Amino acid sequence: MKGKQTAKETRPSKETETKQENTGVGSVYRSRFEKHLDELKWLYMELYDNGSMFAELCDHLEEFYLERREGLKILDRQREEDPGWYKNNDLLGMMFYIDNFAGNMQGVRSKLDYLEECNVNYIHLMPFLETPKGRSDGGYAVSDFRKVQPELGTMEDLEQLTSDCHARGMNVCMDFVMNHTSEDHEWAKRARAGEGEYMSRYFFFKDDTIPNQYEQTVPQVFPTTAPGNFTWLPDAGHFVMTSFYPYQWDLNYRNPRVFNEMMYNFLYLANRGIDIIRIDAVPYIWKELGTQCRNLRQVHTIVRMMRMISEIVCPGVLLLGEVVMEPEKVVPYFGTVEKPECHMLYNVTTMATTWHTVATRDVRLLKKQLDIVNGLPKQYVFLNYLRCHDDIGWGLDYPTLSQEGIGERSHKQYLNDYFQGYAGYSNSRGELYNSDPVSGDARFCGTTASMCGIEKAGFEQDEQAMERAIRFDVTLHAYMFMQSGIPVIYGGDEVAQVNDYTYKEDPDKAADSRYIHRGKMNWELAENIHDPESVEGKVFGQLSQLEKLRKSEKAFVSYADTWTVETWDPSVLCMGRYYDGDKILGLFNFSENDRTAWINETDGMYVDMLTGTRIRPAGVNIPAYGFCYLKKEQ
């Protein structure tokens, strides 16, 4: 097992600083630059055929390297020496909105002790760059890439926060929204005023001839709340491409000025101490008439160039791709071993299939999905999660489900009814998002705790139901920890925070049901984490036990062998992990009834890792909504 690599940022000694000055501050930079120069130039010229713009890019790369503070350069070099540092078993993430979690960035600094107690060493700060009030899409409509939202702090506050996190061995992740800008961005304002240089940074058209041609092949992202892919601007007398919302204008990456400037923004943010850059809406960033404007080869060229630019200037920074698509379209964003693109990708389909399994009590589709992921090369690292800031879309493997007589539209209807609490003996609570009565399609919103039944049990004051709901919540987390990759918890899940319906009282949020699971952190409830009789204490304590176990067992490294085991019970999933002589099995019951898993492992005795009980894994009894971890005796 490789040595532990943290985000520790250290100050260089005077002797080290003098040595660096004597050897030339650019020597490290030049070796990195020369390593990537030929490929970077070839890809750039293939895309843009503009030598002067490439020369400008190269000049700026060195400037950003020289600007990078020395503590970050030391961290870069440590990670260069151990490039797989993030693939070990010691990373646990938590994502949250800064204002909801702690008010502002200084507030987050004051909560670092709490995050350490949560065993978290990777925090994903949801969008915090400047956005216009009421037209931000949760922060994804950026009006200035170099300013923090005033109510959240300043860039200086961000640097203080990242420095504090690094001192504790914590990594910091942020969103980089590169597909579009806010209509309030300086470029957009100047484009709207008719300045050709800035109009060319977007997709402007005088009439609807070309927009109509695009509409023939380009799917709509939000057909109900934001239909179409273009917005008419009466004051400008032009249409502009807006794939997401009318106030989010798509950037034109055919223009090398757009690519260069966005890379400068990327490096500016990396130099503030960010460890992980989440690239938002990656598949959309290249537009081509006559196509779906998704997953085009030029997108991979851009992401590959980003990877090389990062490795030249800030090699300690990881790229996390947001690709919300089926596995065959997600995997290409890892690139190849020789020409890598993203370091990490979200395990989106597994997440959606997990909730399908909750609603159906049938693990077969999930087992197939996990088998696909387990069969991928070990250098591919996925981020695993149960919930995030966004809705759950039911992008499942319907061809497989159709073989069982399950239709797509009827099944989506069932899933949405189930999680609203209307069908399937459900204990879930939540709301729909972007419901389309014509297509019957909709997405779902709710916290993990509410979807597991904790909200319903609390409302009904049903102690038995509460114990069962808590057990299921913990079981789902235990299952997530068994998956190959890095687990990320949504802030509040560690204390079983339920849906927040007060968003309806805010006119800026009332139309967006996703705010039901983006509620403010309830710090009064968080005070109960050490009370073993409270709901918060039970969930927090059991999750903490699992988190520490995961970090202590080498079989949980991302590059371990992983597989599924047949249980001969449609409600029980069994997953295996093996690394360096250690073998662990996880069994998870998605049913409200006690089940027996007939796994018939005949290679020796196992120990229940939570109770210490020795067991022969043949017919293993799993309680309703429960789980167990079994480790093979040496």
Active site residues per annotation: 280, 322
Task: Compute CA distances 82 → 86, 316, 357, 597, whole Å.
Answer: 9, 10, 38, 40
Q: Which residues contact 394 (CB under 8 A, 6 or more apart)?
A: 352, 356, 411, 412, 415, 416, 443, 444
* 435/328 Cα distance (integer angstroms): 27
* 564/74 Cα distance (integer angstroms): 41
CB 504 within 8 A of CB 424: no
* 486/279 Cα distance (integer angstroms): 17
Query: Phi and psi (nearest 5°) for 197?
Result: -55, -40
Amino acid at 42: W
- DSSP per residue over 171-188, as a string? EEEEEE--SEEETTSHHH
Paired residues of 582 in beta bridges:
579
Alpha helices in 271-377 (DSSP H): 297-313, 327-330, 348-360, 364-374
* 520/529 Cα distance (integer angstroms): 17
CA-based nearest residue to 588, from 461, 443, 475, 433 = 475
* 383/306 Cα distance (integer angstroms): 20
Buried b (16+ CB within 10 A) or exposed e, 533-545: ebbbbbbbbbbee
CA-based nearest residue to 521, from 540, 498, 537 = 498
Amino acid at 403: Q
Strands across the sheet containing 627-632: 561-565, 572-579, 582-589, 627-632, 606-608, 614-615
